[in-house]
Amino acid sequence: STGFPAPTQTRIFVVANQKGGVGKTTTSVNLAAALALGGLNVLVLDLDPQGNASTALGIDHGPGVPGTYEVLIEGAAIEDHLVSSPEAPHLQVLPATIDLAGAEIQLVSSVARENRLRKALRTYLADHPVDYVFLDCPPSLGLITLNALVAASEILIPIQCEYYALEGVSQLVRTINLVKGELNEGLEVSTVLLTMYDARTRLAAQVAEEVRSYFTEQTLPTVIPRSVRISEAPSYGQTVLTYHPDSAGAVSYLEAAQEIARRGARQEGQ
C-alpha cells in the first residue's frame, strides 16, 4: 500500500458545491478510502439524507439506523454511531438516513443551530486520533451545509467539467465568505478537484482552464476522468479503489489523495 504523510493536526474537509451530481460524494468516499488504505485514520460524516456516501462505503443506512440525524438534532455523541467501513481499516462512517431530510427544518428552531456539528466533532476529536475528516454535503446551502462549513477547517470544491461548471460557485464563495467573517475565521478553500473529465472533448479542456484561472493555487494537478468503473462501484457498496484498483479512476483518486496529503504537509512546513 501507499503510505501518506500524516498531518500534524486533523484536517477537516467540507466537500461542498450546491450543484447536485458534480462528484461530491464520489470524491468524499474515494479520497477517504485512498487515505485510509494508505494507513491513516479517516472519518466520513454523511450529511446528505440520500445517504450515498454510506452506500458507497458499504454501510447500512436503512430507516432506523442511527447516525447524523441523532448527532445534529438529538445531541448524540459521534462516537456512539460510527460504523467501520469494510473498505479499509481505520475508515469510519457516520451514516445518514432519510430522517435527515427533516433535520433541515428542525434545525431552524434549535439552539446554536450552526454550531451543532462543530461541537460534536470537537468533542469526538478531543479523544480520538483522526488524520482526515470528510463532510459530504447535500446539494444545497441550507443549515446542514452551514453546519459543515462551520465545523470544517478546509473546503474542497469538486467541479464537474461540463457547461456552467462555475455557475453556482460564486454563490458558494459568497456563502463561504459570510461564514468566514461570522462563524469560522480559519475556513479556506484549500482544494479544487476537476471531476468527470472527458479528455476527448474540447469543452472539458476549456472548463479546466477556466477553473484553473479562477482557483490558480487550489486546483489539483490531477483530474478525475469520466469512468464507468467509478460510477459502477457504489452499486457494489464499494469505492473504485477496492472495486477496480488498477482502473484509471482509482489511480486518479489515489493521486489526488497523495497531492492533498503532500500539500498539507507543505503548508505545515511553512
- Helices marked H in 38-164: 52-56, 68-74, 78-81, 100-108, 116-126, 143-151
User: By CB under 6 A, is residue 238 in contact with ligand ADP?
Assistant: no
Q: How far is Cα 223 from Cα 40, in angstroms, rounded to an integer?
A: 23
E strand spans, the chain: 11-15, 42-46, 83-84, 91-94, 132-136, 154-160, 188-195
Say if residue 200 is exposed, middle or buried (CB neighbours under 10 Å; 0-12, 13-18, 19+). exposed
Question: Which of residues 196, 204, 207, 220 is near ligand ADP by CB under 6 A?
Answer: 196
Min dist. Cβ of residue 160 to ligand ADP (A): 8
- Looking at residue 61, its amino acid is H
**What residues from 44 to 73 belong to the interface with ligand ADP (CB under 6 A)?**
52
**CA distances in angstroms from 169 to 148, 158, 203, 210, listed in the order given:** 17, 10, 18, 12
Indicate the residue among 25 and 219 with the shorter CB distance to ligand ADP: 25
**Count, residues in the chain:** 270
Instruction: Give the interface size with Mg ion as a residue count (CB under 5 A).
Output: 4
Q: Which residue reads 431552524 in cell numbers?
A: 108
Is the separation of the CB atoms in 52 and 173 below 8 Å?
no
Asked whether position 26 contacts Mg ion by CB under 5 A, the answer is no
Which residues in 37-56 contact Mg ion (CB under 5 A)?
Answer: 48, 52
Residues in contact with ligand ADP, counted by CB under 6 A, come to a total of: 18
Q: Is 19 in the site for Mg ion (CB under 5 A)?
A: no
Site for ligand ADP contains 257 (CB under 6 A): no
Beta carbon nearer to Mg ion, 139 or 225: 139
Residue of 32, 224, 254, 256 interacting with ligand ADP (CB under 6 A): 224
Stretch that binds ligand ADP, among 16-24, 87-95, 96-104, 163-171 (CB under 6 A): 16-24
Residues in contact with ligand ADP by CB under 6 A are: 20-26, 52, 139, 195-196, 224, 226-227, 230-231, 234, 249
